[in-house]
Amino acid sequence: MDKIFVQGMEFYGYHGAFPEENKLGQRFFADVTLEMDTREAGENDDLNKTVNYAEVYEAAKEVLEGEPVKLVETLTARLANILLERFQIIDACVVKVTKPDPPIPGHYDSVAVEIRREQKGG
């Protein structure tokens, strides 16, 4: 299966289990891998036969800058669901959401959740 990578997308959201996170906000990063057949797009140089990267970014922005949630798991699942719904051409996606500098005592670089989801019936 072919793969398209959209990596290093950065957003500012108000997600977290602590009230301070919901009030102050913080950065979140998203990396997306889309699994699909890109043969026809590549052979015909046709954007209509693939996924527009700008639209992937907009979907990620909608989720990560959208309605606050408590869990990174929720953000990750929401983004995967939206990608599968909006881009029927993809067979599956891998979504990773990273929360740098989580409010955890001690020195932690980041926390992240990565999931893989497939189209229903696929």
* Domain, as residue range, for 105: 2-118
99 catalytic? Reply is: yes
Which one, of 112, 5, 103, lies nearest residue 56 by Cα?
Answer: 5
Which one, of 12, 8, 32, 31, lies nearest residue 84 by Cα?
Answer: 32
Token pair in block for residue 66: 């959208």
Tell me whether residue 62 is exposed, middle or buried, using C-beta atoms within 10 angstroms of its C-beta: 0 to 12, 13 to 18, 19 or more: middle
pTM of the model: 0.93
Total number of domains constituting the chain: 1
Sheet order of strands, 2-13 included: 2-13, 26-36, 92-100, 110-118
Give me the pLDDT at residue 37, please.
Answer: 97
Q: What are the tens digits of pLDDT across the range 30-46?
A: 999 999 999 999 999 99
Q: Three-state DSSP class for 101?
A: coil
Please pick, among 23, 49, 61, 99, the residue that the annotation labels catalytic: 99
65 confidence band (pLDDT: 50, 70, 90) = very high
- Computed over every residue of the chain, the mean pLDDT equals 95
Instruction: Please report, for the domain that includes residue 29, its CATH number.
Output: 3.30.1130.10
